[in-house]
Amino acid sequence: MLAMIQVNLLPPEYRQRDGTNMPLLLAAALGVAMVLGMIFWWFTLSQEVTQLESTLVARQAEEAKLQEEAKKVKAIQDEINELRTRQETIIDISQSKVMWSLKLEQLSELMSKYKDFWVDSIRLLPGASQRLSMSCSALDYDLQRVASFRRALKEDPNFAYHFDGLKSDRASREEIEGYVNAKEKASFEVSLPLASTRIAKKGR
């Protein structure tokens, strides 16, 4: 028998459509799922980043607060150490056989000739060989004047009597404000070891 040939004479718009293309549909669905997954992943990461940034800001604020507290604690500790040093100096001076009131008067008389010099701090350092330590300053960076001041301390017979020489470091230059005739100063340390033999003789 001969196979029958069927011809669809209906117009295209009235013909029955072909079956759905499943591979194409699955690929489209997979693409949509991947896009949605990436959007969800991005949203999750954004939330984590926001949370971490908030934690970082809080930690930085806490760190700044702790640093400020640490500065306050250090300032208090420095003040305590300074007061203890002064207390020890007073004790050492009270136990020393040197008449320090007279020695300070002699120092004041010497410095009256150097009106542009002053003493920032003065300490009596304890130990096997006690010594008087002074932090000094002078208007302008004039090393000749500094040398002259050192010689005056060392060579004055009354002031230098209880000391065994003089040691001093090199003067450093520092800028200053508030002075009309000077914009800098010289800062230097002076160390005067006590002459133990003379102190012993005085104590007898």
Q: How confident is the model at residue 36 (pLDDT cuts 50, 70, 90)?
A: confident
State both tokens at 171.
């003067």
Query: Does residue 203 register a pLDDT over 50?
Result: no
Query: Does residue 69 register a pLDDT over 90?
Result: no
Give the pLDDT score at 152: 94
pTM listed for this prediction: 0.48
Q: How confident is the model at residue 25 (pLDDT cuts 50, 70, 90)?
A: confident
* Mean pLDDT over the full length of the chain: 81
Judge whether 92 and 129 are in contact, CB under 8 Å.
Answer: no
Q: How confident is the model at residue 204 (pLDDT cuts 50, 70, 90)?
A: very low
For residue 95, what are the contacts with CB-CB under 8 A and spacing of at least 6? Answer: none
Give the pLDDT score at 97: 56
Tens of pLDDT, residues 155-178: 999 999 889 989 998 999 998 887
Angle at CA of residue 115, ends 96 and 94, nearest 5°: 10
Tens of pLDDT, residues 97-143: 567 888 889 999 999 999 999 999 998 887 667 889 999 999 988 99
State both tokens at 150.
């050192």
Q: Give the β-pairing of 184-193 and 167-168.
A: antiparallel
Tens of pLDDT, residues 148-159: 999 999 999 999
Interatomic CA distance for residues 181 and 140, integer angstroms: 9
Interatomic CA distance for residues 193 and 169, integer angstroms: 14
DSSP conformation class of 173 = E
